[in-house]
Amino acid sequence: MQKADYWIERLELEPHPEGGFYRETYRSRRTCRFGANEPFGGERNHATSIYYLLKYGERSKLHRIHSDELWFFHAGQPLSVHVFPPEGTPSAFTLGDSPHKGEVLQEVVRAENWFGACHTQESAAKDGYSLVSCVVAPGFDFRDFRFAERAPLIERYPSFSAVIDRLT
């Protein structure tokens, strides 16, 4: 199995503000325009795609965007994605290549959900990593990106405080 630094160099990944490494690989040429009253309030590409890599011990900090985001597993250790919806109960899914362990190759995080990712203790390997792709539709724009604040999430979801602490 390749090591994280191999993929970072080979795929020309750069540090991501939420943690980990990424590179945009696709941005549709076509755009759509949204009204001022919609979350986007302007023009967005139809879709975007990135490679995203987390080394063991790193995390994707809790954040949200105005679009659906599809996650696809490629290589490395399983990666847990924790989702906190505006209404309802938090959930999690694990990306990986072992469906008999409940892992999935792909999953979607719906628009406006707070979400973040980390490795599980079971997938711990000091030189481990997870390589995934994320497709966002309508396309990703940093104007739509917000980091979560710890205190309001813990107040809303007190039984998930350990996960929230880990991902903020």
Residue 124, pLDDT > 70, answer no
Residue 85, pLDDT > 70, answer yes
The residue-averaged pLDDT of 115-138 equals: 86
The residue-averaged pLDDT of 132-136 equals: 98
Q: What is the CA angle 10-55-45, rounded to 5? A: 65
Query: Distance between the two ends of the chain, CA-based, in angstroms?
Result: 30
Q: Tell me, what's the pLDDT at 2?
A: 86
Among candidate residues 75, 102, 90, the one with its CA nearest the CA of residue 167: 90
Mean pLDDT rounded to a whole number for the chain: 93
More confident call, 22 vs 2:
22
CA distance 108 to 70: 4
Q: Tell me, what's the pLDDT at 134?
A: 99
The CATH architecture one would assign to domain 4-167 is Sandwich (2.60)
More confident call, 128 vs 84:
84
The residue-averaged pLDDT of 101-128 equals: 88
The residue-averaged pLDDT of 99-122 equals: 93
What are the domain boundaries of the chain?
Answer: 4-167
CA distance 162 to 159: 8
Q: Tell me, what's the pLDDT at 127?
A: 73
Within 10 angstroms of residue 44's Cβ, the number of other Cβ atoms is 23
